[in-house]
Amino acid sequence: PAAEKWAGEGGGLGARHCVAIALFEIGKFEQAATQLETIARDVAPERPGLRAEVYIQAGQAWMEANHAEDAARVQSQALGVKPNDPDLWIDRGLSYAAIRAWPRAISDFDKALELRPKDVETLVLRAASWRNAGEPGKAMADAEYALRIAPDHSEGLLERGFAFLVLGDRAAASADFSKVLSLVPAGSEAARRAGERIGEVVRAEHDHRPELAEHGAQAIFRVNGRHRPRALKRGGGGLNYCFAVD
């Protein structure tokens, strides 16, 4: 209400931005995204960095509204201003992954890794994209590389386990999933996924079913139980702050 009053009293872009953030915070993501996108277009041309940041926020809001194509569109606007921001390439890659545009997601993760080599989370994201694109060998390569850097990375182990499943090595897959269970808290998303896969391996061995190897390539792309971009972490924890945009 205070932000809306400020905006109504001629508070300018700053007030409008705070209204959009308030909408985001109460879960009106589509309205917030639309307003943030409009604000970004209205930012003065001589402030391109600020315009990019508001587009980043708009992309975040579109993702929360389950409009990944719109998120990718505004993230592309931000990348036109900030092409050397690896997190922004990751954000758009995750948007493309949400709509299963795997080649585009992989291309964006490639760019992020050029800018920030050996980033374990991005390697795991690209491994998941390769797996879903039907390229288990490339998924395995990325997962292995990530695990050489961080041997106990639970999502890396999950991705390598999925790749092993697709490639038909159930024993190796089960070993990776078991290790995940030893590393993560009981009841976590990673524990649930690992436990499910171990159960499938056991049932497949019992029933002598070869089709399990196809499961990994069809799994839904998820990392840490999220499909949201890392822009959520910008600005001290979320979209709970207002820019001085006037």
**What tens digit of pLDDT does each residue of 19-51 get?**
899 899 999 999 999 999 999 999 888 889 899
Beta bridge mates, 223: 226
Instruction: Tell me the three state secondary structure of residue 245.
Output: coil
Side chain identity at 73, as an amino acid letter?
R
Instruction: Give the burial class of 5: count Cβ atoms within 10 A of its Cβ; 0-12 exposed, 13-18 middle, 19 or more buried.
Output: exposed
Helix (H) or strand (E) holding 208: none
CB of 99 within 8 A of CB of 233?
Answer: no
Task: Give the residue from 175, 177, 215, 173 showing the smallest Cα distance to 193.
Answer: 177
CB of 88 within 8 A of CB of 229?
Answer: no
pLDDT given for residue 191 in this prediction: 79
pTM of the full structure: 0.80
Give pLDDT tens digits for 57-105: 999 999 999 999 999 999 999 999 999 999 999 999 999 999 999 999 9
Beta bridge mates, 13: none
Q: Evaluate if residue 205 carries a pLDDT over 60.
A: no
pLDDT given for residue 184 in this prediction: 80
Structure tokens belonging to residue 201: 């391996």
pLDDT, the chain, mean: 81
Alpha helices in the chain (DSSP H): 2-8, 12-25, 29-42, 48-64, 68-81, 86-98, 102-115, 120-132, 136-149, 154-167, 170-183, 189-207, 215-218, 234-237
Instruction: Report residue 190's pLDDT band, with 50, 70 and 90 as the boundaries.
Output: confident
Task: Give the residue from 34, 36, 32, 33 showing the smallest Cα distance to 13.
Answer: 36
Query: Phi and psi (nearest 5°) for 59?
Result: -60, -40
Q: Above pLDDT 70, what percent of the chain?
A: 76
pLDDT given for residue 40 in this prediction: 92
Q: Evaluate if residue 225 carries a pLDDT over 60.
A: no
Q: C-alpha 60: how far from its chain's center?
A: 10
Q: Evaluate if residue 206 carries a pLDDT over 80.
A: no
Average pLDDT over residues 220-245: 42
pLDDT given for residue 186 in this prediction: 82
